[in-house]
Structure 1
Amino acid sequence: MTAAGQALSGSGLRGREAERERLRSLVASVARTGSAALALIRGEAGIGKTVLLMDTAEHAAAAGYSVGLGKADELHHLVPLSSLLTCLTPGGRPLLPDKALARLPQSHDHRIWLVQRLAEHIETLTARAPVLIGLDDLQWADPLSVFVLTQLPTRVRALPVLWLLTKRQGPPQEADETLTAASRALTTADVHLGPLPAAVIQQMAADALGAAVDDSVHDLLEGAGGNPFLAAEMLAGLRSAESTGRSVPSGLVVGVRGRLSALSADTLHFLRIGAVLGRRFRFQDAAALSGRSPAAMIGPLDEAVRTHVLADEGESLIFRHDLLRQAVYADIPPSARRALHRAAAQHLVDAGRQPIEAVSHLLTGALPGDEEAGLLLGRAADDVLAVAPGLAADLLTRAVELIPAHRPVGFDVGERAIVALARAGRDKEALATGETLLARHPPLDVYGRIQAAIGATLWNLNRAEDLRRLVDTTLAVEGARPRTRARLTALRALALSRGDDLAAAREAGETALRQAIATGDREAHVQALFGLGETALNAGDTADAQKRFMALSSVDPAYLPEEIVACQHLDDFARAERLLGRATSQGEGARREAMLQWAQGQQRLGLGRLDDAETDFVTMERLEDEVGASVQQVNARVIRSRIGLLRGDRTAARQDLLAARERLAPHPNPGNTAAVRYLEALHADAMDDHALALEHLREVQRHDGYMRWRLLRPWVDEAVRIALRGGDRELAEDLTAQAEAHAARNPGVPTATGLAARTRGLVSNDIGLLRSSVALHRDGPRPLNLAEALADLGAALVSAGHRAEASEVLTEARAVFTESGAHAAAARANGLLGGAGTRVRRGSGNPRPLQGWQALTASERKVARLVAAGHSNRAAADLLVVSPHTVNTHLSSIFRKLSVRSRVQLTHVVLASDED
């Protein structure tokens, strides 16, 4: 029999033949098909999960796999990515280079970037061989590792990667998000390990003790409950008793407890120190905490290793099984346990380790009033904020509880807690923390800082009026420092940008900008420029908005998407395209990748590339879902629904409308509400319910004026047609006046001037103005706006009896609609052509089929051919000048439409289609 803790290797897999074969079948399937799979092995401690994982890994390695194995640690479960990094070094080569890891803390939220980078490195590895990535004890994995494991398997589903995870069995109702997420896109196996049958346990006894196993031993082994580790420990205890001539103890004491009770007092003391440090610990750390020299601890170490309680791996010591560590740990009195954890934390910090490595000990050992512990938690939170904002928020919240209420440093930690909670999307907790701090009556300068932090949270919650009141009240109190006043004034500008007095908003923004520059406060600088840009957009002054956002992106490149969208409002799509290319190639969008996808989607939509625009909005929504943010989800669904109406796919359009309503419910701010109401008007109009469409449009108009500017800026012609069809000329006139006012503010923007001419032409039934509108739109970059202008002109010409000219412009409109994929709009133009006496072309512009090669969009075919030719996702993205996230979304759609699961299968389909 092998050493305890290893007794299940080899023949110890007896009783697990079915599970073993199931996992080996997955190994073969992944290698054969080239598509990923994930297996989760569950069961109680000691049931054999680790042994089964190791056996599968050894089999995969023999089959040519590159294998990376790791283990999560109970006392290091807060160190970001620590769990996953233990298994991302197959063959000794780090999957993610150290220099890449060093970039993680540089910006806002790099979790999306991290997943993408890992996916790219795994793709490189799989070019050489299939890959197995195994992680033991998932239940103790750090939050960032769990996040990555929830996203990454799906991201690399088309690659030969086998994910092999083990996890202790939890409550029956426990749902494992890693397995659930993977099951939507790849083959999964949920392997439950239950107790071994009595016959298998008896055979283990025969292997260990020989054939003469009496009934008393069988009765004793029943106490193991079919757990192979406990059975092996009992058998080891029996063999030890026999060899020393001692009497055989009864019950479980011959197991784990029996082994420990036989150790010397010094060894038990050493093991207790080690158990506090974790399953894996360093000898020098344990010696230091013991208060003895390393030389004095050699004897206890030797006994612990000789009795197979510990294994010596050179750089560290490790308990051979978690149950051994837990048995030692449980025997430490709770008060002593807490004190040892606090001492361990102090030792690690004094030894120069990162604060995050001491966090688990601090959370267990620190008591209220421990200011030093609170400050250490604050330092650790700062280190992890960029990649684990939720963890940072938890650490800072705990730090606030530890630091004495009367200590000034507690206010600084509390302010950072508010910021971290807001970053984690926990705005209500952030407000509650702010109220707690204010109740402690901070000094006036601190009071202003806390109010500024609370104000930023109110902005996140779309509570502009509450924000304005808070800022006005705070600014009225003397004592705030210049930097704090700059931040508060910038927040006031933001709040005012959502009101009617935009002149006051602009004045507040300019004041805040001057104060920010004078004090050198970057946060105030960013907020002031953002407020000025928002104010300009809401005033319809797109040139000023572009100027403000360009200045903002130069201060903080994370706001490049805002500059890109501002360029689109100016019809400067060429500059917007250059900025998108720069962000994609240089990684400048990595800080806010979802917003960059939003900007790219708006670009494609404006250029009439409906398929590509939809892909971008789908990608944006996925990225926001991954990090638990919901910034543009309502608006994205509104646009996707509108695309569905343009295509004539009312089922998809209706589904997106329902999704927009669902996403609106938790965040019913005025902008999102107006967007959904306007979409409802479009749906009612498409169903020829003109009265209902008109009522929804009136609801939109009842919102604040700024929202009408933003919402109707590119769509005001649709709104005018709805008003006219509903018989409300007054509303049509009001909308036209809005379009003309916007054009007056933006005289050099063809879309603005073209829409103004067109809406006036529609209201006045003026063919001359409609012709002018067409000419103006020809100077702009938006083909769908041009097609709509041609259709409006064509309809007016048909009514006026100018059939020849009508036929010409309507034929062009139909062609532009068809080219963009707007099949419903093309059909309407076709119908007008019939009214003009032109022979209608049947079957033109039919939607694509749902399945097969012909179902792919033009961009999807490009991606399919590039991938089939051997290009990686990153390489394909670089060639197409899009983000790898966009390519990943294309591949998901390609795989679904072609019913393939791997790149190998995709290559076969591409080769066959190119031969046809």
Structure 2
Amino acid sequence: MEADRSDLVDRTAEREQLCAAARRAAAGHGNAVILEGSIGLGKSTLLDHLAEDCAALGMRVLHGAAADVEQRLPFAAVSAVARAHLGRDDDLDRVTALLRGRDALARSVTAVHHELAVTEELLALADRWLSRGPVAILLDDAQWADASSMVLLHRLARDIAQVPLLLVVAARAMAPGEALTALQRGLLARGALELRLEPLPEPAVVALARAQLGAQPGQRLRRLLRAHGGNPLHVKTLLRAYRADGLIQVADGAADLAGSADPPAVPQSLIELARGQAAQMPREYRETLQAAAVLGQTVDVAELSTVLEQPLMAVSEVIADALGTGLLVDDGHGLRFRQGLTRELLDRSVPQSVRTALHQRAGRMLTGRDGAPERVAAHLLAGGALGEDGLGWLAAHADALTVRAPDLAVRLLRRATADPAEASPVLRTHLVRALLWDGEPAQAERLAREVLSADGDAAWAPDLRWLLVQACYRQGRVQEAIDAAGPAVDSPYTSVGQAARFRGIAATCLFLLDRFDEAVVVADRAVADGEAAGDAEAIGIGYLAKAVGLAKDDMAASLALTELALAHLGHGIRPDLQVDPYVLKGLCLLELDRLAEAAEAAATAVRHNQRTGGVFLTTAHAVRAHTLFLQGHWDDALAEVRSGLDGPDPLGHAPRLLAMADLIAVHRGDAPGAELPADAGEADGRYLVRWAQALAAEAQGDPKHAAGLLRPMWEQADGLEGRRMMYRVCPDLARTTAAAGGSGAVRALADDLHTIAAVQPTPSLAGCAAYCRGLAEGGVAPMRAAADAFRQAGWPLYEAYAHESAALALAAAGDQAGAREALKQALDGYGRLEAGWDTARARARLRDAGVRDGARGRRGRPKHGWDALTDTERTVAELVATGMSNPDVAAQLFLSRRTVQSHVSSILAKLGVTSRVELAVAASQRQGQP
């Protein structure tokens, strides 16, 4: 690293701390730095030199600044730091295309979900880069960063200590903004270094002036410099201005103010100084830079030449001078203002009328070119009336603009349709779509109804009616969605394929309202119309609707229909489907005891929802966690729980995950972590919360209270279909009810289960029925039948339950040897699961029955070291140690990137290491051991 940095006067300590942070990151121990200071104190200069230092260390450097004019543009700040790498990295180019909105309307439901998908892709890209080498992300002017970029940086920083990442966020001191404040708070909580730049002391100011002037400042010049409060930017700007105007004289190694009298009072603020400089510029030079400032943070010379109607060569000369003075910089991917403040001041110096005229000219010029839609739209919005060209451009680019800058799209479309009498129905339809995308379904519905009431019979009407159906459904108004679909089906402008899709969504809604007979008729018609039109997507929607309706009554039939739906929908599954077919497939397989396939289907659902920012992501994690719980892979289930909780939960399924974690905690003899009210979560999953609370009550010695929590859920379920969805609680309900003296209730429970099993027989249902029958009758044979059924279903916990109860029945029959053998089988099963509470309960119950196992039982897995790792964790550790990224490991193991990261965190904790580099070293050392 270079030692001499004349423009870093008196910043040696700060620079060394930043370099030390870079060296730690390059060595594999990531860390973050918050750099704060007032305007002009040297933040940008420090970052410039740090970028060079990081490059010298072999780090991939992402260095850029947020812009005030892009605060409402999603991922603008992240795009700025990555701009120099565009065209050099295929993965980055692919993610950038997604960020710019490619296929977004066909992939995601709303802007929020699209941003979630982009965030996930960017995190995966960061994982891949970090697996190849150290990375430095240096963001300047973070006070202007957009919220999406702040969220991404926050997510990156969660596990920063594990990876070779340096994250430096520089911002003005006391800068407002909730997103920036939240990021800074999160970084500090993870041990980030906080550097606050203070004004330079007078000796440092003198040294800076000496470096700038090549001579020692005299007393009068020092007195002038002292008035600028130790601000290096003020000092350098003042010295350049005074020297250019001949107000500083250098002679015999000394520099001082020219003349005998002090100059007029110097403005105290940089703003006034900058304005003074601007006023002294040649008019053509000043106007060119002012126009550039009005048009944005980046500078396009050809665009500027066209807007100003000046020769390209003349504009290029001004830009070259600005580059030479440092006013502009070339970041490798274009020109931009070196300081956001400079652009801001130049922009403010332009009268509003001139600014509007410049935007109008830019808007007219750019509508005829293939430019970024958000840039064109910003000029059109700032330029006043749109005109015919502007309206034509907006109609052609509304979808692209909606995806890239939804807030800007809504505002521009509102202006374009302000007069309903003059507004084009096409533009108003675009506005409805933009409102839906921006998360405003109620406003979208009102506007759609208003447009359709004026002219509902037109070629454009089916598209608008589809948006109306979606707007109603997203507000939970299912009947209104059905009502809105009716006129669309009957319209002469609706094609057969479109009608099939409307019928498909109407059928889904009818099933949700339990209007089964009507729904079947409509769903069958949807499939028939889709086949007649050759519309595979319409056919898929129809099959999916019918699969939803059959899910409570006939899981096998529902699975078959779901498979048909997936075959027709392919990989182009619409984001506005009311049901996720991958999740539905996983649920069907789970209910049919095809657990390995269910886990695989749920993993596919997770990846699909991550790729699209889908609303069913938490649900998919919950299905997979439940499946892994039943399989006895509890650590893997907990990894899914952690992954599922790491994101938004629009459907309210997070309580399912928390309840699953609590169930595992109670079984292992730990205290449950979630304090959820009994009515937490949505209705279908509420029994899971009660289940965990009941088990905790039993573990605390109160089986009566436990039974009292579970029994009402069973008794109040919606018929046998509703009970079938929660029958997994029955062994615990039967055990606690029997312990509380309710043998009659246990017998009734067994009868219910036999009835359910007769309709949809599965091994697990047969096992639950036999288990409850055995508890009611006290027989050994039903318990052995239950154990066999649970073994066939792949439910090891329940199999151990059956062995435990069989041991009690054998003890009651006087068969001590048989009881001891059954107890041993139960304890072996509990031991494999590390179910400490179940182990203690079984021993205590059998001890009370006069049976002692006489053995220590299965030794549990150690808590630390390589032997503490589960099979999945061991595989993940081996792959990570070879240098594979989380996304690559996820693809190989059929997991999600988030789940792999959850496993990595668990692995590091068990091995007592803090980074992936240390993990690789530990793995290498282990392989070298005899």
Pairing of 1:66-145 with structure 2 (within 5 A) = 66-76=60-70, 81=75, 83-88=77-82, 93-94=88-89, 96-99=91-94, 101-102=96-97, 105-106=102-103, 107-108=107-108, 109=114, 110-126=117-133, 130-145=134-149
Contact 1:238 1:254 in 2 (8 A): no
Shift of 1:752: 2.3
Pairing of 1:242-641 with structure 2 (within 5 A) = 242=246, 248=263, 250-252=265-267, 255-297=273-315, 300-301=318-319, 304=322, 309-310=327-328, 316-366=334-384, 382-383=399-400, 391-392=405-406, 395-396=409-410, 399-400=413-414, 402-404=416-418, 405-406=420-421, 407=423, 408-421=425-438, 426=439, 429-439=440-450, 441-444=453-456, 453=467, 455-456=469-470, 459-460=473-474, 463=476, 466-472=477-483, 475=486, 480=491, 481=494, 486-487=500-501, 489-518=503-532, 527-539=541-553, 541-554=554-567, 555-557=569-571, 559-576=581-598, 590-591=611-612, 597-622=621-646, 624-625=647-648, 632-641=653-662
SS at match of 1:683: helix
User: Could you tell me which residue of structure 2 aligns to residue 3 of structure 1?
Assistant: none
Shift of 1:188: 1.8
1:36 counterpart = 2:30: yes
Contact 1:15 1:196 in 2 (8 A): yes
Q: After superposition, what is the alpha-carbon deviation per residue over 1:756-805, rounded to whole angstroms, capped at 9, x for unaligned?
A: 33333434445443333333333322222322233333333333334333
Q: 1:398 to 1:740 in 2, by over 3 A?
A: farther
User: Could you tell me which residue of structure 2 aligns to residue 713 of structure 1?
Assistant: 727
Q: After superposition, what is the alpha-carbon deviation per residue over 1:135-187, rounded to whole angstroms, capped at 9, x for unaligned?
A: 323334455543432223435642222122322334468553434444555x5
Shift of 1:56: 1.8
Q: After superposition, what is the alpha-carbon deviation per residue over 1:618-642, rounded to whole angstroms, capped at 9, x for unaligned?
A: 12222x34xx656531211111111
Q: 1:297 to 1:448 in 2, by over 3 A?
A: closer
Partner Cα separation in structure 2 for residue 260 and residue 905 of structure 1: 55
1:18 counterpart = 2:19: no
Unmatched segments (≥5 aa) in structure 1: 1-7
Q: In the alignment, which of 808, 811, 823 is matched to residue 821 of structure 2?
A: 808
Q: 1:313 to 1:12 in 2, by over 3 A?
A: closer
Q: In the alignment, which of 222, 226, 235 is matched to residue 239 of structure 2?
A: 235
User: Could you tell me which residue of structure 2 aligns to residue 4 of structure 1?
Assistant: none
Shift of 1:518: 4.8
Unmatched segments (≥5 aa) in structure 2: 109-113, 249-257, 574-580
Q: After superposition, what is the alpha-carbon deviation per residue over 1:240-298, rounded to whole angstroms, capped at 9, x for unaligned?
A: 12169999553238832232112222222211221122232111100100123324545
Q: 1:20 to 1:477 in 2, by over 3 A?
A: closer
User: Could you tell me which residue of structure 2 aligns to residue 176 of structure 1?
Assistant: 181
Partner Cα separation in structure 1 for residue 748 and residue 546 of structure 2: 27
Partner Cα separation in structure 1 for residue 308 and residue 773 of structure 2: 87
Contact 2:603 2:894 in 1 (8 A): yes
Partner Cα separation in structure 1 for residue 168 and residue 11 of structure 2: 16
Q: 1:121 to 1:909 in 2, by over 3 A?
A: closer
Instruction: Say how many residue pairs are matched.
Output: 877
Q: 1:443 to 1:647 in 2, by over 3 A?
A: farther
Q: In the alignment, which of 666, 681, 686 is matched to residue 645 of structure 1?
A: 666
Shift of 1:30: 2.4
Shift of 1:837: 4.6
Paired amino acid for 1:564: G
Q: After superposition, what is the alpha-carbon deviation per residue over 1:44-91, rounded to whole angstroms, capped at 9, x for unaligned?
A: 332211100112222233344343423334445566555434544569
1:685 counterpart = 2:703: no
SS at match of 2:192: strand
Paired amino acid for 1:338: T
SS at match of 2:91: coil
Q: 1:820 to 1:313 in 2, by over 3 A?
A: closer
Paired amino acid for 1:26: A
Paired amino acid for 1:25: A
Shift of 1:661: 4.2
Contact 1:366 1:373 in 2 (8 A): no
Contact 1:581 1:882 in 2 (8 A): yes
Paired amino acid for 2:379: H
Q: 1:342 to 1:500 in 2, by over 3 A?
A: same
Q: In the alignment, which of 646, 666, 689 is matched to residue 676 of structure 1?
A: 689
Shift of 1:114: 0.9
Q: After superposition, what is the alpha-carbon deviation per residue over 1:336-356, rounded to whole angstroms, capped at 9, x for unaligned?
A: 323423432342332211313
SS at match of 1:196: coil
Partner Cα separation in structure 2 for residue 853 and residue 60 of structure 1: 35
Q: After superposition, what is the alpha-carbon deviation per residue over 1:299-335, rounded to whole angstroms, capped at 9, x for unaligned?
A: 6556655665445789854434333322211111223
Deviates more, 1:282-291 or 1:765-774: 765-774
Partner Cα separation in structure 1 for residue 327 and residue 790 of structure 2: 80
Shift of 1:393: 6.0
Contact 1:271 1:328 in 2 (8 A): yes
Q: In the alignment, which of 795, 811, 825 is matched to residue 808 of structure 2?
A: 795
Partner Cα separation in structure 2 for residue 855 and residue 168 of structure 1: 47
Q: 1:582 to 1:488 in 2, by over 3 A?
A: closer
Pairing of 1:829-868 with structure 2 (within 5 A) = 829-835=842-848, 837-841=850-854, 843-845=856-858, 851-853=864-866, 855-868=868-881
SS at match of 2:728: coil
Partner Cα separation in structure 2 for residue 394 and residue 702 of structure 1: 49
Shift of 1:743: 1.6
Partner Cα separation in structure 1 for residue 384 and residue 688 of structure 2: 50
Deviates more, 1:838-847 or 1:148-157: 838-847
RMSD: 4.0
Q: 1:606 to 1:392 in 2, by over 3 A?
A: farther
Contact 1:811 1:833 in 2 (8 A): no
Partner Cα separation in structure 1 for residue 830 and residue 384 of structure 2: 67
SS at match of 1:13: coil
Shift of 1:566: 1.9
Partner Cα separation in structure 1 for residue 461 and residue 689 of structure 2: 39
Identity, in percent, stands at 25
1:753 counterpart = 2:771: no
Partner Cα separation in structure 2 for residue 303 and residue 473 of structure 1: 62
Contact 1:47 1:194 in 2 (8 A): yes
Contact 1:74 1:278 in 2 (8 A): no
SS at match of 1:789: helix
Q: 1:630 to 1:898 in 2, by over 3 A?
A: farther
Q: 1:317 to 1:605 in 2, by over 3 A?
A: closer
Q: 1:217 to 1:86 in 2, by over 3 A?
A: same
Q: 1:763 to 1:414 in 2, by over 3 A?
A: farther
Partner Cα separation in structure 1 for residue 10 and residue 893 of structure 2: 53
Tell me the TM-score normalized by structure 2. 0.83
Q: After superposition, what is the alpha-carbon deviation per residue over 1:864-900, rounded to whole angstroms, capped at 9, x for unaligned?
A: 3443454444554455443443221111112233442
SS at match of 1:648: coil
Partner Cα separation in structure 2 for residue 706 and residue 491 of structure 1: 27
SS at match of 2:7: helix
SS at match of 2:644: helix
SS at match of 1:714: helix
Deviates more, 1:406-415 or 1:730-739: 730-739
Q: 1:355 to 1:577 in 2, by over 3 A?
A: same
Q: 1:456 to 1:90 in 2, by over 3 A?
A: closer
User: Could you tell me which residue of structure 2 aligns to residue 194 of structure 1?
Assistant: 198
User: Could you tell me which residue of structure 2 aligns to residue 146 of structure 1?
Assistant: 150
User: Could you tell me which residue of structure 1 aligns to residue 757 of structure 2?
Assistant: 743
SS at match of 2:873: helix
Partner Cα separation in structure 2 for residue 315 and residue 770 of structure 1: 72
